[in-house]
Structures are given as C-alpha cells and as structure tokens.
Structure 1
Amino acid sequence: MIRLASWIVGSLIITALAAWLISLDGTLTLEAAGYRMQPQLGVAIFLFLLVAIVVIIVWGVVRRVISAPRSMARRNRERRREQGVEALSDAIIALQAGDPARARLLAREAQARLPSNPAARLLEARADLAVGDMAAAREHYRALIADERTALAALAGLYEQARTQTRPEAALTFARKALALAPQAGWAATAVFEDFVRRGQWAEAVAMVNVEAVSNREQRARKRRRQAVIETARARETETSAPLPALDHALTALKLLPDFVPAALIAARIHVNRGETRKAMSLLRRIWRATGHPDVALLYAHAQPGASAVDRLKRMGELVEMPPPHRAAALVLARAAIDAYDWSKARDALAPFTGKDATQGIASLMAEIEEGQSGDQGKAREWLARAVRAPRDPAWTADGLTSDEWEPISPITGRLDAFEWKVPVVASSRPASAEPALPMVQEPLAVLPLAQAGNPQ
C-alpha cells in the first residue's frame, strides 16, 4: 500500500514538472546547416533530456556488447574458483574420513582449478603420503619448500615421511631446518630436544629449555622440573670424573626442585667423598624430612666412611625415631639393625607393618630376623614364601622397567624424566649401570612417590 502510494505521488510530481517545463515562456533558436528551429523553451529542454536518456541507453548497450567477452571470462574464473574451493573442501573431508585415494583425486582437481593456491598441492602431498606414494609426496613437499608460505608445512610433511620410513637422521635434519625457519614450531623443537636428550647432549638440551617461553604457573613448573632433571643428569654423568662441576649441577637442580632426591644423593655423595660429612648429613636430613626416601636414609647411615655396623645403626637412630612413622623408615632401620645383629630392634621396627599388607621387603627382612635371631628355619621359610606372594615395594620405575638407581631417561622409549618412585606394575627389572660411590639399598623399599613427598605412608 505504501509502495503504491509512493508510486502515485512520484508520477504526479514528474507529470507536474513536465507540464511546467512545456509551459515555460520563450523560444530557443537553433541554426545548423542552413536550417533554423525555434521550439519553445520547455519543449527544447524536454527534447534535450529525452536525447540524453537515449544516448545513455545506447551507450550502455554498446558497452555491454564490448565487455561481454571479459565478463564471461570473469564469470568462468569465478565458477572455476568456486569449483576448486569445493574440491579442496571435499578432499580435506575425504582425507580425514580415511579415504586418501579419493582425497588425492580431489586435491588434483583442486590444483587444476586453483593453480596459484599452494594448499591444493600441500593437500595432494598429504594424500600421497597417506596412500603410500612416498616418491610423489617427496616431490610435492620439495617443491613447496621454495614458497615461504608453505615451507614450514612442507618440512613438517617431510619430517613425518622420514619417520614413517624409519629414517631418523633425515627426520632430524628436516626438524632442524624447520626450527631455524620458525623457532616457535613446537614439533621441530620437540624433535631436536629429544635428539639432544637421547645423545646425552645435556648442555644443548638445557639451553633449549632455558629459552622456552612460559605463560602460566603449570608451564613454569614443568620448565623448572625439566631444568632440574637435566642438571641432575649432567651431575650424574660427571660425578666421578669432575666432582666439583657435578656438585654445581646437583646444587643447581636442588635450587630448582628443593626436594629432588636424585640430585640430593649425588650432592651428598660428592660432599662425603670430599670429606664434607656435615654438609652431606645436613642435606640428607632435610631431604629425608621432606620425602622419607629410603635411599636418603641409607646414605645418611653410610655418610661416615669406615663406620661399623653399630655406628651406622646409631646414626640411623638419629634420623628415624621409634616406632618408625612409615614403612620406608621401618625398612631402613631394620636393615641397619640386622647388619648390627640387633635382632630385637629390627623386629620392633618391622612389627607395625607385618600384617596382611606386608610387602616383599618386610617379609624378606622378617625371614632374615627369624633365621638370625632364633635359627628357626621353618618360620624363615614361611616368611620367604609370603614374600613371593606379597605386594612389591616402590622402586625406580619407567615404562614397566625397574632400576636400582634413578636414570634421567627411559632406556626403552628415551623419554626424559620417565623414572618415578612407585610400586612397579610388572616384574621386569634392570640392574644399576654402575656401582654407586657409597653403598646403596639393594631391596626396593616402600615410600610414596616424590610428588607426594612429606606424607609417607
């Protein structure tokens, strides 16, 4: 209704203007080629407007005819681009759906319709890799390296291809190139870092960790732990050959993680070997109060070289009160008492933990006590039989493998900081790679993992 009213009003206004123009007084004289025309002024203006409209219409038609080929070409390009984008989208969907053959065909179609779009070629390379056509994938990736927009993605593809073909050196080469091109590339940094760790190049590894950017508390804590683990690995590696630098590395690790048992043990051993017994014992007392780790207590007992078993038991009594507050304390105290032939004290130390939940360590020590104190072979065999069925004690464990000592990386996967102090899931074990500087515990002793230090069971 409003539109109809507007149209009527507009028509009336136009009609009124036309009538007004025609009714204007005066004439206009036009002379051309011997002809003279004298139309009224209003008629002349009306004819001029009419001619202008006709010229505009004619020019519009001519311009459309002239530009028709160009418009058709543009529409064809737009249609090809739309078809290329659709093919590219379908190729991505097919690749994610697990149909690499169809994805490769669609990627080739997309590349034919979008020759200047590197994403189509990159997708075709991915599809080639998924199909197993390694040669074609390699050629596509190498061509894409020349384009700075796709260089990083191409290096990532070549890295994955090299890993698929079990070519670790080639994969590492591509990772290093990507890291030089884009230091923020996480996959490349991880690959290079893991190679440093695997080769034991701790200085390079810690340098990479030091420059890591952190944005929250969790990332900061993870960075500090990795730094501490690497510093401890450096200390462990040079503990015998270069004790002073090793001590610096161990103390640096303890600054980062104040209750890190492996670093504390290394630092304490170096102090003992240098004759700094008080420093070693002070450090071990602090770590024992924080973690309750049995290796700490055992090293504390042996902090004085040449001490007798009775002296070691007396020193252990300075660290562990009676009754022992947790199973780990009971085990180390009982071990020291057995070595000193103090059978009663050993039995009293283990008494609170000899119930149904007695572990292998408890049962084995009870067998020694029965045999050594009373010579009762029957009871000793009963405890040994019980030890076979008893739950295991915590030990240094990584990827199902147990070790007598902490190691910085897993010997199975090469993962950094893989060893944890916990109850092993399986029975596989690995002996210590080298003899410790001071006597260490031989039986796995019960204590909570380091993450729960300060609250031993």
Structure 2
Amino acid sequence: MLWSMLKALIFVAATAVLAIGATYLLEIGDVALITVAGREFVLTPFVSVLLALAALVLVWILMRLTGLIVAGIRFLNGDETALTRYFNRRSEKRGFEALSDSILALAAGEGHLAIRKAERAAKLLARPEVTNLLIAQGAEMADDKARATEAFKALVQDERTRFVGVRGLLQQKLAAGDTDTALKLAEKALALRPKNADMQDTLLRLQAQYEDWAGARATLNAKLRSGTLPRDVHKRRDAVLALADAREALADGQIARATELAKSANRQSPSLVPAAVMAARMSIAEGKAKQAASVIQKAWGLVPHPDLAAAFAEIVPEETPEARIKRFRPLLKQHQGHREARLLEAELQIAAKEFDEARKALGSLAQDEPDARSLTVMAAIERGEGGEDRLVRAWLAKAVTASRGPQWLCEACGHVHAEWRPTCTHCDGFDTLHWAVPPQSEAALQGPEQMLPLIVGALDGPSPAAVETPETVATPQQTAPSEPIVEPVSGEDTLTLGPEFRIDDEEDASKGADAVQAARGVN
C-alpha cells in the first residue's frame, strides 16, 4: 500500500516537473536561427527541445536496425547471436518435451512410441548419452534387438556412458545364451566399475559356471574389499569355491593341492558338509584317522548329515557292528533326539541285530515324519523281529509313495540334485544348494501308487493302506554314503522293490539289515 502511494506521488511529481518545464520553454521569447542549404529556420526553445528528442529517437532506431542487420549476417554465417540463442532455446524446449514424452512412454510400456520421441529429442537436443539410452530401452521393450544393440554400441563410444553400454550388451548376450561373450563383457564392465555389486555377482556366477575357480575367488575378494559382501558370507562362499577347486585338482591327480584346498575350505566353513567329508577322506588317505574323526565330529556338531556318518564309518571300515556303535557314540550324544541321529543309531543297531534297541532309537519318526528312509528302516526292524510278511510289505508300500526325505535342493529354482555342487545345474545359481526336503505334489505320487500291486504283490491279508501300523516307527533321510554303514545281506526268494531293494521271505532276523540297505536304494 505504501509503495503504491509512493509510486503515485513520483508520477505526479514527474508530470508537474514536465508541465512546468514546457510552460517555461513556451514563455521564453528568444528564438534560434538555423540555416540549412541557404534556408533559414527559426525555432523556439520548445520546438528545439522536441526536435532534439526526435533526433535521439531516430539515432536509436538506426543503431538497432544496424545491429539487426549485422546479427542477420552473423546468423547466416553460423555465429552465435541473440537470434541463434532464441532458436536454440525454442529447440531445447521442444527437445525436453520430447524427452519427457519418451520417458513417459517407457513407463507406460510403449516401446515404439518411446523410440520415436527419443529420436525427436536427439534431433533437438545435444544429449546423446540420454537419448541413446532411451532408444536402447525402448528397443528392448519393443523386442527390436538390432536397434537396441546399435544404441548400446553408441553408448560405449562415450566415456560417460561406456559402462551403461557394456552392461546393456552384457544383458543381451546373457539373454541370448552367449555366455562366452558375456564373460568377457562382465570382466570389462567390472574393470570400468570395480565396486558395482551387480557386475560382481554376474561375473562371479559366470566364472563359477565356467569352473574358473581361481578367477571366481579373485572376484569374491574384490566384493569383500569393496564392502558389498559381509565377511561371514565371504568365508562361506570362498570355502565353496575352494572345495570346487579341490575336487577339480583331485580329478586331475593333484593330490597335495586337493588336500590343501579341501582342508582350507573346511577351516573357513566347518558347517559345509561336502568340505568336511572331503577333508576327512583326504586325512584318511594320509593315515591321519584322529584328524579325520575330529573334522567329522566338529561338522556333525553343527549339521548332522548322513554323508558325515558315512565318512566317519570309513575311518575304520573293518570293525564289528558292536565296535562301530561304540565308536559312533560320541556323535550320537551330540544331537540326542535329532532325526538324523535317531536314524543313524537305528541303522547301527540293526547291523548289530539289536532290533529292540533299533526300535527305541527310531521312536515315532515313521508316524510323525514318514519318508522313504524311516519307513524302510521300520520294515527292516519288523523283518528282523520276525514280523509277518504283510506287515513288512505294508511298510514298504508306504515307503514307495512317501517323501524321499532331505535332498540337495536349490533354494533359487527348487531343482533337486543327487549330490552337492557349487552351482545349480538348472539355473546356474552359485552356492544355492541346501539340505532340505523338496516339496512333493500328490500328482507325482499317482504313478507309484498305481504300480504298488505289481511291486509289492498280492497280500493274503488287508491291503497295505489298511494295515494298522505300530505306535513306534521311524523317519527317513536321504543317505548316499560311498560305503554303507550297514552291510547288505544276500538271500533267496527275495521281493524286488527297485534295483537294490531286497527283503527275504525267510524269517531269519539277520535279513533286517537288507531292508536298511534298501532304504538307501529307494532314496
């Protein structure tokens, strides 16, 4: 309000001054005489002032026209002028509008529209690092691989966008299955951005896929140094790579190197079961039984596993069943009540023909957590105790359609592996295998159920499903030891259930061990 009043006062004052000045000039009686080309002009002071002001305006107009002409000449010559800046600003505005439209088209999933808008933006803006990226992304969305490759190659030419271009080409090669070129591009990308976690993971996965264990360990160390990998995870994965390298060295006959790598893997990750098993077996080969037992006991204390039990049995392969039970006692005490410990003790007792003790050890696993191994162990106990054929066959019938128990399962894709591997054979995931029970659909069991009459044979009594099972039963676990803890017993008049599954029809209690070996065959 105050400022408005002040402006009004200034305007009134200026008007008053001009009016007073004009009145003063009109009242002056003096005149000015100007002679131009022989002609005389008489000018009053007021007219003289008006002519002077008109002359100033004319001079200003001439100067502006001269500047405009000069600017036009410079514009035509390609020099930067106000005129060029005007047109540049106009083009820049239209270019940014096209750029925004391209980004919005990408967000809407309209690849072709995004390409057109990005091409228009490229003509109006000098921003190839942005427009080429939008063209590449739009081409990928529109499944125009050739156009996308061209755009990514253009990005590689610019130092600012080289990494983005290499990464884009890498993703294309991975999608096309060209892992050879992808590996080289991943190495180049990681050289450009050593701390990029995504490139580190991609290169590590490709190196593991190509079994370049030394290169993979170097990449893993780079991840640790860059702070993108926790130290405990690094130790675990480095142990996995060392174990894979040890297996390869053993296959090549490099025993000393394989031993060193296996023991190194076991030191870094004592809970890695395959590393403990290999380290123990290498110690057994060196005649270091106590060292092998120490490795197995430490690993068993962390993760009870059938492979560890098999390796522990290999330390003294010729011992009697009673001596073996005594030697295994420290292992069994570490995890009393654990399903693997109960199954292991039941198998050991069956081998010693102590079927009552085997039943006590097994407990209710076959009812609470039925799987092929526990049900078959229960069948062996029934056979060893002289049970009826129909009862033994009922347990075996259940084992056919039961879960296979824990197996090496890829946590990324769910693929089941017969043995541990550093990478999944299905999805190439690195260090994704873990010991777990895979999901089992009812549809997967329909085939075995329909085959039961042919496998088990006709029963004189009730069907296997109708046989009342005892209260005390057992549980399964997948075991595939190279040397079984319980030795198989051969016999005649056998009932065949798979290539290695034999149950004798005799009433001899010693045939119970055969059913335990059968469990290993089913699993």
Question: Where does residue 7 of structure 1 map in the other structure?
Answer: 7
Quote the sequence identity (%). Answer: 31
Residues of 1 paired with 2:227 and 2:185: CA distance? 30
Question: Where does residue 390 of structure 2 map in the other structure?
Answer: 378
Q: Retained in 1: the 8 A contact 2:306–2:481?
A: no
Q: How is 1:181-196 mapped onto 2 (pairs within 5 angstroms)?
A: 181-196=192-207
Deviates more, 1:143-152 or 1:241-250: 241-250
Residues of 2 paired with 1:196 and 1:4: CA distance? 77
Q: Post-superposition shift, 1:331? A: 0.6
Q: Retained in 1: the 8 A contact 2:195–2:223?
A: no
**Structure 1 residues 134 and 322, CA, compared in 2 at 3 Å: closer, same or farther?**
closer
3-state SS of 2:159 partner: coil
Q: Which amino acid aligns with 1:420?
A: H
Q: Which amino acid aligns with 2:159?
A: E
Question: Where does residue 231 of structure 2 map in the other structure?
Answer: 220
Q: Retained in 2: the 8 A contact 1:334–1:345?
A: yes
Q: Provide the alpha-carbon RMSD of the alignment.
A: 3.7
Asked if residue 396 in structure 1 is aligned to residue 408 in structure 2, the reply is: yes
Give the alignment's TM-score, normalised by structure 2.
0.69
Residues of 2 paired with 1:144 and 1:425: CA distance? 46
Question: Where does residue 258 of structure 2 map in the other structure?
Answer: 246
Deviates more, 1:312-321 or 1:328-337: 312-321
Question: Where does residue 303 of structure 1 map in the other structure?
Answer: 315
Query: How many residues end up aligned between the 2 structures?
Result: 418
Q: Which amino acid aligns with 1:334?
A: A
Q: Retained in 1: the 8 A contact 2:407–2:435?
A: yes
Q: How is 1:11-410 mapped onto 2 (pairs within 5 angstroms)?
A: 61=64, 65=68, 70-213=81-224, 219-239=230-250, 241-321=253-333, 324-374=336-386, 376-398=388-410, 399-410=413-424
**Structure 1 residues 142 and 110, CA, compared in 2 at 3 Å: closer, same or farther?**
same
Q: Which amino acid aligns with 2:184?
A: T
**Structure 1 residues 410 and 166, CA, compared in 2 at 3 Å: closer, same or farther?**
closer
CA offsets per residue over residues 58-95 of structure 1, 9 Å max, x none?
Answer: 69856874658733331221111111111112112212
Q: Post-superposition shift, 1:198? A: 0.9
Asked if residue 417 in structure 1 is aligned to residue 417 in structure 2, the reply is: no
Q: Which amino acid aligns with 1:408?
A: P
Residues of 2 paired with 1:439 and 1:207: CA distance? 39
Which stretches in structure 2 are left out of the alignment for 5+ residues?
25-34, 36-48, 76-80, 445-479, 487-516
3-state SS of 2:230 partner: helix
Question: Where does residue 27 of structure 1 map in the other structure?
Answer: none
Deviates more, 1:246-255 or 1:7-16: 7-16
Residues of 2 paired with 1:172 and 1:321: CA distance? 49
CA offsets per residue over residues 185-231 of structure 1, 9 Å max, x none?
Answer: 44443333222101211111011101214677973333222112112
Deviates more, 1:326-335 or 1:348-357: 348-357
Deviates more, 1:64-73 or 1:397-406: 64-73
Q: Retained in 2: the 8 A contact 1:302–1:312?
A: no
Residues of 2 paired with 1:256 and 1:322: CA distance? 22
3-state SS of 1:128 partner: helix
**Structure 1 residues 185 and 400, CA, compared in 2 at 3 Å: closer, same or farther?**
closer
Residues of 2 paired with 1:214 and 1:181: CA distance? 16
Q: Post-superposition shift, 1:360? A: 2.4
Q: Which amino acid aligns with 1:226?
A: R
Q: Which amino acid aligns with 1:343?
A: F
Q: Post-superposition shift, 1:363? A: 1.0
Deviates more, 1:88-97 or 1:243-252: 243-252
Residues of 2 paired with 1:394 and 1:273: CA distance? 29
Give the alignment's TM-score, normalised by structure 1.
0.78
Residues of 1 paired with 2:53 and 2:484: CA distance? 114
Deviates more, 1:64-73 or 1:293-302: 64-73
Residues of 2 paired with 1:51 and 1:405: CA distance? 102
**Structure 1 residues 63 and 193, CA, compared in 2 at 3 Å: closer, same or farther?**
farther
3-state SS of 2:160 partner: coil
Residues of 2 paired with 1:386 and 1:116: CA distance? 70
**Structure 1 residues 170 and 358, CA, compared in 2 at 3 Å: closer, same or farther?**
closer
Residues of 2 paired with 1:377 and 1:436: CA distance? 29
Residues of 2 paired with 1:254 and 1:197: CA distance? 19
3-state SS of 2:416 partner: strand
CA offsets per residue over residues 251-282 of structure 1, 9 Å max, x none?
Answer: 33233323222211111111112111111112
Q: Which amino acid aligns with 1:412?
A: H
Q: Retained in 2: the 8 A contact 1:322–1:349?
A: no
Q: Retained in 2: the 8 A contact 1:126–1:157?
A: no
Q: Post-superposition shift, 1:164? A: 3.8
Residues of 2 paired with 1:325 and 1:295: CA distance? 19
Q: Which amino acid aligns with 1:5?
A: M
Q: Post-superposition shift, 1:113? A: 0.9
Residues of 1 paired with 2:317 and 2:186: CA distance? 50
Q: Retained in 2: the 8 A contact 1:400–1:426?
A: no
**Structure 1 residues 118 and 211, CA, compared in 2 at 3 Å: closer, same or farther?**
closer
Residues of 2 paired with 1:195 and 1:275: CA distance? 38
Q: Post-superposition shift, 1:422? A: 0.5
Q: Which amino acid aligns with 1:195?
A: L
Q: Retained in 2: the 8 A contact 1:394–1:444?
A: no
Q: Post-superposition shift, 1:350? A: 1.0
State the structure with bigger RCO (CA 8 A, min sep 6), 1 or 2.
2
**Structure 1 residues 323 and 382, CA, compared in 2 at 3 Å: closer, same or farther?**
farther
Residues of 2 paired with 1:205 and 1:85: CA distance? 44
